[in-house]
Amino acid sequence: MWHDTVLGTIGNTPLVRINQLAEDFPCTVLGKVEFFNPGGSVKDRIGISMIEDAEEKGLIEPGGTIIEGTSGNTGAGLAIAAIAKGYRCIFTTTDKQSREKVDVLRGLGAEVLICPTNVEPDDPRSYYSVAQRLAEEIPNSVYLNQYDNPSNPQIHYETTGPELWEQTEGRITHYVAGAGTGGTISGTGRYLKEQQEDVNVIGVDPAGSVFYKYFHEGVFDEEEIYPYFTEGVGEDILPDNMDFDVVDDFVRVEDKEAMQMTRRLAREEGLFIGQSCGMAMAGALQWMEDHRNELTEDDVVVVLLPDSGFRYLSKTYNDEWMRNHGFLESKPDVTADQVLNLRRDQTEVISAAPGDKIGNIIERMTEEGISQMPVIDDDHEVVGSVTETRILNRLIDSPDARDQPVRTIMGTPFPVVPASLHLEHLSAYLEQDVGAVLVDHGSDGGRDYSVLTKSDLISALMKVEQGNNGTS
């Protein structure tokens, strides 16, 4: 027996018992191992379903273009389906995603556009907005929008849910999954609850995402949104496909927990899987510990493990990357304010005003020996940034630009972070190629900024390590 195309191999992925990590619990813990799909992740399921739904609705014709914003895995699922059906693919993604994910998409023949992570969802540069714009500009194209596309949760209702019910012979009592678009947890959870309403559906959210607080408090808190490293899960929006009515509880997992659990799954269970898998398992074990007295030997907990570790060779499975971000060893409890205190230079931030002339800014940068500065208006609000590169490019295009105001060349403002922000979240900001962040240690509503760069962070960590080792 054979399949006519690779699409016939999607689904019916195995359940694998989790032994070492769950040995202290009375219940059975199983992992639904989705890297057995041909594209290497659970997203293969929605790739084919969203394309076929678009075909049925007449949204795309033969030879057309599939457009999607993706963290990588959905793109791979769409790409293999597009190859089988004869479509072109253009994907937008963020600079947060691993190199391996982008290489996979391009290896499957897709065009990939890299967009900045650290922008609002409705910013024209965001990967959501760029995908929407491309679909408007390119004839015979469709933006599938996995976040709001109902065929996303529907395919999990039709396949993932029934598979879990059949594979556990109806014994499943708890279903644990991360949430990004919301399709996997919502569609699967809906099916399971229709079979047995007492099945517990537990969502796992990375710290920095909005789902956890929204579920528990009904509040979309923008203050809760900040960069995090775990890929493919969590959101800074509320997708239509995230059905909170299906979910019984949400737990939150920090990046460090997710990364370390990912490695433990490989070393202790032989499951070479991705970051969101580690996050889901860490969340499952955390929830089980909190509800230990409620669990019995009859309970069957299934954890959805979305993808493969081969997508993260340069990150989670790279010791240098892990160590640089404080995930491999115990990291010092360092805040942004403490980094500044360890820096020799305690001078006030050097900034430009929007109306300052470019020529004056060049002179100030030269005098101070700096290559970048924030642009701050009269209300002490950060409105932009200026760098040597931007100045040079403008002078090449227009040699008389020295008399123009800085506002004509300023770029995206440096992120403003509180002085209490801890190391892992601070390093996540600096990972985004922003050059620097502004630390606000003002009080009583006032603004008092200091510039903090990646080199400042490295220097501070070295001093902390030297102090811990008793050296000077």
Cβ-in-10-Å burial (0-12, 13-18, 19+) of 333 comes to exposed
Q: Catalytic residue at 85?
A: no
Tens of pLDDT, residue by residue over 112-129, are 999 988 788 888 899 999
Q: Which of 43, 85, 101, 213 is catalytic?
A: 43
Tens of pLDDT, residue by residue over 309-359, are 999 999 999 998 998 888 986 556 678 888 877 765 555 788 899 999 999
Q: What is the pLDDT of residue 50?
A: 96
Q: What is the pLDDT of residue 427?
A: 75
Tens of pLDDT, residue by residue over 351-395, are 899 999 999 999 988 888 888 889 998 888 889 888 888 888 888
CA distances from 31 to 164, 250, 288, 468 (A): 10, 18, 15, 40
| 92 and 251 Cβ atoms separated by less than 8 Å | no
Alpha helix (H) ranges present in 57-155?
73-85, 99-107, 127-137, 151-155
- pLDDT above 90: residue 110: yes
**What is the average per-residue pLDDT within 223-246?**
94
- pLDDT above 80: residue 27: yes
- pLDDT above 70: residue 304: yes
Q: Which of 82-91, 295-304, 396-405 has the lowest average pLDDT?
A: 396-405
Q: What is the pLDDT of residue 433?
A: 61
CB atoms closer than 10 angstroms to residue 434: 21
* Residue bearing the bigger pLDDT, 233 or 444: 233
CA distances from 135 to 140, 302, 316, 430 (A): 9, 38, 34, 32
Give, for 303, the enclosing helix (H) or strand (E). strand 300-305
Between CA 460 and CA 472 the distance in angstroms is 13
Q: What is the pLDDT of residue 380?
A: 83
Between CA 333 and CA 330 the distance in angstroms is 9
**What is the average per-residue pLDDT within 457-463?**
74
- pLDDT above 70: residue 468: no
Domains along the sequence of the chain with CATH: 6-38+153-324 (3.40.50.1100), 44-143 (3.40.50.1100), 336-468 (3.10.580.10)
- pLDDT above 90: residue 419: no
Question: 288 in helix, strand or coil?
Answer: helix
Calculate the average pLDDT of the chain: 90
CA atoms within 13 A on the CB side of 390: 20
Q: How confident is the model at residue 472 (pLDDT cuts 50, 70, 90)?
A: very low
**Residues 462, 464, 466, 468: is their CA dihedral positive or negative?**
negative
